[in-house]
Amino acid sequence: MNNSIQNLTSLIPEQCKQQQGKIDKKLVPQTNYSKPVYKRNKGNFTSIKHKPAQEGGASATRVSDKGLSFIAGWEGSVRDSSGKHILYRDAVGVWTIGYGHAVFSKAERQKYLNGLTESEALTLFRQDIKRFEDGVRESLKVPVNQAQFDALVSLAYNIGIYAFKNSTVLRLINEGAPMSEIEEAWKRWVYGGGRVLPGLVNRRNAEWKLFSTGKYY
């Protein structure tokens, strides 16, 4: 395990490391084991001083280690009795493994039937995050600070990069709209399967707190 992955492992909330029931790792888990973990151990996060982005100033372009742990904590994970990450269906029925990696094809699902080690799950997570970092960076027309960038990538990672690029949130940020308007648009993203999901409400609140105050917990 390389140093960057090892450091990230130390920041992952304890709930994401806990085993989620005794399941044969060679089998696709049943629905009753398919509940993503939304609770986080707040003690594992640290806050940073928030500095509002200034027009023409430097802008963050990559997710920080604290941002990675923040996103991984909200994504959660499901594991078997050996501690391996296993396939599960998320709140809207999408096959998922590790820290929010969506599995859409049958071939890829077969690939993950034996699960992933923590190191493999974190490596996959970091690979997935890069696409969202790139998408958020390319979509922004104004500079943002590190906490704001981390919050935006968390939102994009959860709702999808296409939805993010076409969102009112992004448009308002690029237009320099009042924070109250951005907050209202941000907190509309709480629906899954046509209903409000408490886990998404909590995540949006945490993301907004991060974006507006720089506090990771």
Helix (H) or strand (E) holding 108: helix 106-111
Distance, CA of 204 to CA of 123 (rounded, Å): 25
On whether the CB atoms of residues 142 and 176 are closer than 8 A, the answer is yes
The active-site residue, picked from 14, 75, 108, 175, is: 75
Decide: 97 and 121 in contact? Cβ < 8 Å: yes
The question of whether 75 is a catalytic residue gets the answer yes
- 142: Cβ contacts below 8 Å, ≥ 6 apart: 53, 55, 59, 173, 174, 176
Which residues are CB-contacts of 4 (< 8 A; sequence separation ≥ 6)?
126
Q: Which residues are catalytic?
A: 75
